[in-house]
Amino acid sequence: MTRHYFGTDGIRGTVGEAPITPDFVLRLAHAVGRVLQKDDPHPVVLIGKDTRISGYMLESAMESGFSSAGVDVVLLGPVPTPAVAYLTRAQRASLGVVISASHNPYPDNGIKFFNAQGAKLPDDWERAVEEALDEPPVWASAAKLGKARRLADAAGRYIEFCKSTFPADLTLRGMKIVVDAAHGAAYHIAPQVFHELGADVVEMGCQPDGYNINEGCGATHPQALIEAVRIHQADVGIALDGDADRLLMVDASGRLFNGDELLYLLADDRLGRDEVVPGVVGTLMTNMAVELALQKRGVPFVRAKVGDRYVLESLLQHRWTLGGEGSGHLLILDKQTTGDALVSALQVLQAVVRSGLSMAELLQPVRLFPQVLLNVRLSPGFDWRASLPLKQAVSEAEQALSGQGRVLIRPSGTEPVLRIMVEAQEAHVAQQWAETLVQAVHS
């Protein structure tokens, strides 16, 4: 059975258009409740959300749907996605629900779920929910309706959790940090975490109005943070996305560090403390410079499909701890069960504090390769996999790059477009081969 509603990260879309409508969300919660009751006669579900105006509507619909199935609900209010994962585990709840569209603009919203251990749920569970959606509802009687309550100190509990992942013998005292929360779910949490660890915090993107989430700020628009670091003469800048599971960082010089670089820094820091790093997981898009730098340190590196859920699957398969994407999703499984921007930032900062070096100095072994990404619109019926000119061009490119570059060709999942990415040590070489491959597609 294929999934009609669930994508790579839950269910997402434009508010007011199927499936992000209150009637569907009510039915979805009811269906999820029925699936939960197959294993747990008295399920308890936690619901968190980001700061979008539509969160109120969807939260109410979801609460009603769970109650109608006899499931108790605990409302967390606006908290980061990783806070829901943590609190679901800490509260011994049956399920955690996040109402968020992450880095998307405010007209979008979505729903994603965590299991009782704070991890994302497998495809089979999502298929079971979709099957339940096709069945007639079974409304609970008045005596068996679920109850709802609010966890008043949800934010405070999560703040303490984040702080607990930072070494007790270190402090951020003397460090000025600009924190850009993207007017999102961490607006009232992120500044407190760094302040309580001793930093002088400059707040950015911490005034949500329901409409400004991710707008011109946060991890999707880091230029604002770069400028703020310069203006405030800060030591570090931290950019989150709307649900605070994505991280980019800036140093005092205004240099921006993406998820690929931060992933290497985390692995290198552990090696420097004589910890074992059995391997690291990236994605098909992870910069080759990171792979080569890790190989020099004797650390195996594997690539998963693009998407943090696939990085997580690969980590669990290999029983490794560190993985991530260039977009800033970083997984540190001995600290948190899912991507957590605040926990990841604290791990980077402890490396900076402990070493006395800047992020740029810690990342000297990594010089990112230029990447050229070109999109080619495909003619109807064209089978790019069977194209002999393209196969020949790819073979020639790979021979020319000879282990010092990469070619990645993949179709878009949403439109008839072929994405051609070439990576090389020199930008003009990457551009030349990318254009050659585009011409081969048209041959």
Q: Is 164 tagged catalytic?
A: no
Separation between Cα atoms, residue 191 and residue 205, nearest integer Å: 11
Separation between Cα atoms, residue 107 and residue 293, nearest integer Å: 41
Residue 370, number of CB atoms within 10 A of its CB: 17
Tokens of 188: 């009232």
Tokens of 179: 């924190």
Strands 176-180 and 236-240: parallel
Residue 417, number of CB atoms within 10 A of its CB: 13
How far apart are the two ends of the chain, measured CA to CA in Å? 38
Identify which of 254, 236, 260 has the alpha carbon closest to the alpha carbon of residue 351.
236
C-alpha to C-alpha distances, 347 to 165, 206, 263, 320, 388, nearest whole angstrom: 8, 22, 10, 17, 47
Active-site entry in 54, 94, 100, 102: 102
Separation between Cα atoms, residue 262 and residue 355, nearest integer Å: 15
Residues 6+ apart with CB under 8 A from 346: 162, 165, 166, 193, 197
C-alpha to C-alpha distances, 377 to 101, 205, 276, 286, nearest whole angstrom: 28, 37, 45, 24
Identify which of 216, 103, 230 has the alpha carbon closest to the alpha carbon of residue 178.
230
Separation between Cα atoms, residue 304 and residue 38, nearest integer Å: 33
**Dihedral of CA 268/352/229/102: which sign?**
positive
**Helix H segments across 197-285?**
223-232, 259-272
**Dihedral of CA 11/154/67/39: which sign?**
positive
Tokens of 357: 């070096």
Residues marked active site are found at: 102
